[in-house]
Every structure is written in C-alpha cells, then in structure tokens.
Structure 1
Amino acid sequence: MQVRRMLKFNLRQFALAKPFLIAFVWAVASVTIPVLFSVLTTDDFLYSRQIYYLCFFQNFLFIWILAVLYDAKDIASDSQNGLFTLNARYPASALFFYFLLPSIFLFAITSMSVLLFQKLDFYKIVIIVLVISAAMIGLSRLIYRTTLHWYHSFMIDAMILCKAIVVILVLLKN
C-alpha cells in the first residue's frame, strides 16, 4: 500500500519543481556537457568560468520561461485534478508580471553579458536582446489566449528556433 502511494508522486504537485527541473536538466545538457566534452577531448577550457556561468544561467532562464509557458495548455486539467503548477495556482496576469516578466528581464541581462563576451558591437547586442525579449514577451501574452495544444507547441518551438537563428547569425558574424 505504501509503495503504491510512493509511485503516485507527481512532480506537477509542486509549483516550481517541474519547470525548475526541466530548465536545470536542459542547461546541464546544453552547456555543461559540451564544456566537459571539450575539456576531456582537447585539454582546453573554451570558456572562462564567468562565460560558462552566464551561458548556464541564460539557458536555464530560457528553458524555465518556455516550460512555464508550455504548461499553460494544461491549466484546466491541472485545476480539475488539484495539481499545483504555476499556471493552475496563479492567474495569467499575475504569472506574467511576477514570474515571467522578471525572468525575461534576467534573461535579457544575461544575454547581453554573454554577447558582450563575444565582443559584438553594442548596438547589435541591444538589437538581438530586444528582438528575443520582445518575442518572448509577445509569446507569453499570446499563449494564454488559447487552449489549443498545437498552438502552444508551435509557439514554444518557434521561440527555440528564433533563439537558435539568432545564435547562428551571431556566430557567423564573428
């Protein structure tokens, strides 16, 4: 009987746990593992510690924001099932102003810092950060207006693609 209760553990019962865990795992996978691979295969650390921490935090914030937005599609079912996700616990406007907007602001600051390490022109940095931040703010406002699952998936994938295109363009310009 107790084993059955333990197996019913649901990460969505803890408001911050699911997006935090998703963001942490993806930040490790997208920043730490490539850096470790580089160190092990070339005996060279490509990044300084500061740029590593900034990249890790930037990717963490990006995935955190996307995970919170992706959970918006499940608001009705989470509320019905008594799950305490951020989207079920807070109204969309409160979630936007108290969680998403500060996260986007921190993401913009860390993105500017990462791009400054790349020695880009300041105006290019501002344009890149403004485009990505504006897209994220627009996405976070639009995504709560529909419950269509395909729409949420499309918008989240579009943000990932937008960030990837910007990163590729930055790398090509250097």
Structure 2
Amino acid sequence: MEKKMSNRFVESIFFSNFFLILLSIALNVETTVKIGLPFNSPEYYIFISSLTVLFYLYAYRISKKINYSINPRTQFYINHRKIVKIVTIFLIIICFISGLILGFKSLPNLAIISWKWILVLIFTGILTIGYYDLKLGISLRKTMWLKPFLIGWTWAITTVFFPVLFLMLENGTHFNLDAKFYFLFSQTFMYCVVNAILFDLKDYEDDSNKNLKTFVVKYGYHFTLNRIILPLIFLGFLSFLIFGIWYGLAWHRILFMLFPILALAIFAFKLNRPRPILYYLIAIDGMIFFKAICGILSVLLFE
C-alpha cells in the first residue's frame, strides 16, 4: 500500500511537471553563481518557474474528446483533468502577479537594454509561439530538426539569459558579459538539446502516430542513439574541455564539471532498449538538475 502511494506521489510530481519548478530555479541559481552576479528577486524566481510549468502544461493539454490513452502520462492528464485545470488557473494567477511586479520594477530601466537583447526576446517569442499548433500554418514541434533545438533554446533563454536581463532591469545596472556567460548559454543549450532528443526516445510510438517528425521517428531508435546523441555528447565534452583549458580553470574543477556530461553519456549508453516513461522523466530531468548542482558546487568549492 505504501509503495503504491509512493509511486503515485512520484508520478504526480514528474507527470505534472512540478519538478520543473525546482529545475528552473536551480539552473537560474547556477547562472548567477557561475557568472558572479547577485541573486534575482523572489518574484523573479516565482515568475520564471511558474511560467516554465505553464509552458509544458499547455504543450501537454489533452482534448476533452480523448478518454483513454496507452501513454501513462497522457492518461494521468485524462484522469486528473479538473485538478490540472485548477492548478493551471492558480499558476496563471501567480505568474501574472509576479510578472506584474517585475514589470513595474523593470519599466523605469528599459532604456539600459540594447537592441540586441530586444531582438533576442522577439526571436524567442516567435519560436515559442511556433512551438504550439495554433492554427497559424506552422508547428515547430512537427519539424524534426527544430523541435529539440527550440526546447534547448527556450531553456537556455529562461535560465541563462533571463536572470541576467531581469537583474539589469530590476537594479538599473548594466553588466558587461564575458566568455563565461556565452559559454554557459551554449553549454545549457546543447545539454538540453541532447536531453530533448533523449526524451523523444520515450515517445517513439506516440510521436509516430501523431506524425511528429522527431529524430527517432525519422531514423529509428538505435540510429538516433548511436549516430546523433552520442556524437553530440562527445562534442559537448570536447568543447567544455577546450574552454576550461583556455580559461585557465584548474584540472580538478574541469573534471568536476564534466560529471554531468559523463552522466549523460553513461545514461545514453544504457539505453539499449526502450524504458518506461517515468524512468525517462526522472533520469533525464534529474540529469539537468545534476548539471545545475555541479555548476553551483564547482564555484562554491573551488573559487
């Protein structure tokens, strides 16, 4: 009985995307710690974490006409339609209020933001809209090459770009960004791209039936794993090694920060057969969280 309750609790945390709240905050904290900036305000963390969950809740919305699915996660949303609706409304209210507070704080300092930052925001907004099938004639989720890179870009923006942007807007201070910022953005982007492709492995049959052209649907399970995911992990490993040497980081710190990439490689090697959806959710989201923790500890322990 206790085991069933424990399993249900774990399912509710990961199926409902609530773990993403912790994930979003951890990655945002990693950015401020690594770059050496002050922490953002509480309302910023409330805004960005609630916005992240809402982004995924909308992506996983289920039609009222569907009453059964072989996908456990889809069935979870079918079984808990009322609760999901209440939680969504609550998150919208929280996101709106915190966003309003941020807006009032930021409005007087908009002039310090250059056109380059504004251009990135507009570009990100267009990509985000294109992620959903809003009957506009485009749906980036159905485009094989764009879906994982869009997800990676969104995570990099909300966890690396946004904390710096809102810190400048709230404090009215412009920060000169060095190579650390750009490398952290690239690292987060590529790490989340690989995770997104790994994540598609769990939805192979479901995506195939929905005509979503993911890497796995296009090339197959083992080809995606061996010819796409593992080479990308190796490139991430190599780029971090080169950056660490170029930036003059101590070897023990470089090796410590390579742990998340090594964990990703080990996980990918072990995916020689399809796993339950909950396994993917815990392992893949857990590795992103592990990346954030290693990034924070690398500064606290070695600087």
TM-score by length of 1: 0.81
1:18 aligns with 2:18: no
* Percent sequence identity over aligned pairs: 30
Aligned pairs for 1:1-174 within 5 A:
6=135, 10-40=139-169, 41=171, 43-45=173-175, 47-48=177-178, 50-112=179-241, 115=244, 120-129=249-258, 131-143=259-271, 145-173=273-301, 174=303
Name the residue aligned to 2:89.
Answer: none
Q: Which secondary structure does the structure 2 equivalent of 1:16 belong to?
A: coil
CA RMSD across the alignment: 2.7
Equivalent residues of 2:215, 2:224 under 8 A apart: yes
Distance 1:60 1:43, change over 3 A: same
Distance 2:223 2:196 in 1: 17
Equivalent residues of 2:142, 2:212 under 8 A apart: yes
* 1:76 aligned partner, one-letter code: E
- Report the Cα offset of residue 61 of structure 1: 0.2
Q: Which secondary structure does the structure 2 equivalent of 1:6 belong to?
A: coil
Deviation digits for residues 76-102 of structure 1, max 9, x if unmatched? 122233321111111233212332122
Select the structure of larger CA radius of gyration. Answer: 2
Distance 2:208 2:286 in 1: 27
Distance 1:106 1:44 in 2: 33
Distance 2:245 2:268 in 1: 26
* 1:61 aligned partner, one-letter code: M
Q: Which deviates further from its counterpart, 10-19 or 111-120?
A: 111-120
Distance 1:172 1:117, change over 3 A: farther
Q: Which deviates further from its counterpart, 88-97 or 37-46?
A: 37-46
- Report the Cα offset of residue 42 of structure 1: 5.5
Equivalent residues of 1:92, 1:144 under 8 A apart: no
Distance 1:143 1:10, change over 3 A: farther
Distance 1:72 1:45, change over 3 A: same
TM-score by length of 2: 0.49
Structure with more of its chain in helix, by fraction: 1
Q: Which deviates further from its counterpart, 28-37 or 112-121?
A: 112-121
Figure out how many residues of one structure are paired with residues of the other and give that number. 169
> Could you list the runs of 5+ residues in structure 1 that have no partner in the other structure?
none
Distance 2:172 2:272 in 1: 46
- Report the Cα offset of residue 146 of structure 1: 2.6
Deviation digits for residues 91-149 of structure 1, max 9, x if unmatched? 233212332122212322343456558754123313431x2222111222334523411
Distance 1:144 1:14 in 2: 26
Distance 2:158 2:194 in 1: 17
* 2:175 aligned partner, one-letter code: F
Distance 1:34 1:157 in 2: 21
Distance 1:68 1:101, change over 3 A: same
- Report the Cα offset of residue 171 of structure 1: 1.7
Distance 1:162 1:32, change over 3 A: same
> Could you list the runs of 5+ residues in structure 2 that have no partner in the other structure?
1-133
